[in-house]
Amino acid sequence: MNLPQAPELDEYHYPPRCLRAAGALWIASGVLLILIGLALFSQRIWAGLLFELVLPVLLASAGVYLWRRGLWLGRGADARTGLLVVGLLGYITVWPALLVATAVVLQTRPAADRWFTH
């Protein structure tokens, strides 16, 4: 008697590894941007309103967005476009830029596309 194969649990109930890795990288880049924004705000080494207030608040806000959307990415919310747009702000600094570039590559893998379209 031929019984149907049970679907693999990982394929249907959990996001693929590349998407989990991308989410972790988005979370890490968000945390780094928050820390960089807080460090810039506490240092106040530059003159002018732009560098003393606006840029640190903008970086910290972008970090919170990346952190939250990185969590949602693994739960099935297709936030890839928003993450990419806000993640480009991370290119102001070096370390978040490396994490963002890697996350963008991982989240556009075919396995990630299948996860969002099933």
Model confidence pLDDT, tens digit, residues 26-43:
889 889 889 988 888 887
Could you tell me the two tokens for 35? Answer: 């820390």
3, 20, 34, 63 from 27: Cα distances, Å: 42, 11, 11, 8
Q: Is the pLDDT confidence value at 53 over 60?
A: yes
Number of neighbours of residue 83 by Cβ within 10 angstroms: 26
pLDDT tens digits, 67-86: 888 888 767 677 788 888 88
> Rounded mean pLDDT of the chain?
78
Q: Which residue has the higher pLDDT, 100 or 94?
A: 100
pTM over 0.75: no
